[in-house]
């Protein structure tokens, strides 16, 4: 498949661009500079966030950014007047990313493993982590004393909405046999290598780095 068609195949045609997610977070928290480890070709955040750093070790992702396809998509769809910054790093995000610690106000974790744990050093205090729990990263972040849950994100079709109500109802394990102490629960999640079931869930979760 041509690299130029990857965004269409994996995001646009599947109605999985998640633009409303990033629009909601941008509007609510005013983020302007983000880091997206494990992005593949999901360049949608740059449609609403002026400065974005992307990281992936996939060769097709590298070609997608290197060939200028990402830049064309961003220029065509951006919703701001600033000149976009779209910077890609072809590497494993678990290795040192060449951007400053504390230099971004948004960290994005979507279907890519333990992004919060490996990349939180780049997130400024008072910045935000968006994580889903597909690869159990939201659950891991909920155990981390450096993160505080400040909102959940609900999705209905292509409509996304933020809620700050009843946040204490989230991340309560269904199984009483799992550890309750946060550090022990984090170790349990690591050992499992997958997420655990919770009594209440959302599409995505927003944490503030404290």
pLDDT per residue as tens, the chain (210 positions): 588 899 999 999 998 999 999 999 999 999 999 999 999 999 999 999 999 999 999 999 999 999 999 999 999 999 999 999 999 999 999 999 999 999 999 999 999 999 999 999 999 999 999 999 988 999 999 999 999 999 999 999 889 999 999 999 999 999 989 998 999 999 999 988 878 899 999 999 999 999
Question: What is 3-209's CATH number, 1.10.287, 2.130.10, 3.40.50, 2.40.128?
Answer: 3.40.50
- In three-state secondary structure terms, 124 is strand
- In three-state secondary structure terms, 76 is helix
| φ, ψ of residue 192 in degrees (nearest 5) | -70, -35
Rg (CA), the chain: 17
Q: Map out the domains of the chain as residue ranges.
A: 3-209
* Predicted model pTM: 0.96
How many Å apart are CA 37 and CA 118, to the nearest integer? Answer: 10
Task: List, in sequence order, every residue forming a beta bridge with 152; answer none if it has no partner.
Answer: 163, 205
């Amino acid at each position: 498949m041509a690299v130029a068609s990857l965004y269409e195949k994996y995001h646009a045609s599947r109605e999985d661009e998640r633009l409303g997610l990033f629009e909601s977070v941008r509007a609510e928290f005013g983020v302007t500079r983000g880091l997206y480890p494990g992005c593949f070709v999901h360049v949608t955040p740059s449609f609403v966030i002026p400065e974005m750093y992307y990281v992936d070790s996939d060769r097709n992702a590298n070609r997608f950014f290197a060939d200028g396809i990402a830049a064309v998509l961003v220029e065509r769809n951006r919703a701001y007047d600033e000149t976009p910054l779209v910077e890609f790093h072809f590497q494993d995000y678990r290795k040192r990313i060449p951007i400053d610690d504390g230099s971004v106000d948004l960290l994005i974790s979507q279907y890519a493993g333990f992004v919060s744990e490996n990349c939180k050093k780049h997130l400024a205090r008072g910045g935000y982590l968006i994580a889903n729990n597909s690869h159990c990263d939201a659950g891991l972040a909920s155990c981390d004393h450096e993160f505080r849950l400040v909102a959940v994100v609900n999705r209905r079709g292509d409509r996304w909405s933020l809620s700050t109500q009843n946040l204490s109802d989230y991340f309560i394990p269904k199984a009483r046999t799992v550890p309750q102490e946060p550090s022990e629960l984090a170790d349990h999640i690591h050992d499992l290598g997958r997420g655990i079931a919770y009594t209440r869930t959302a599409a995505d979760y927003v944490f503030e780095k404290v």
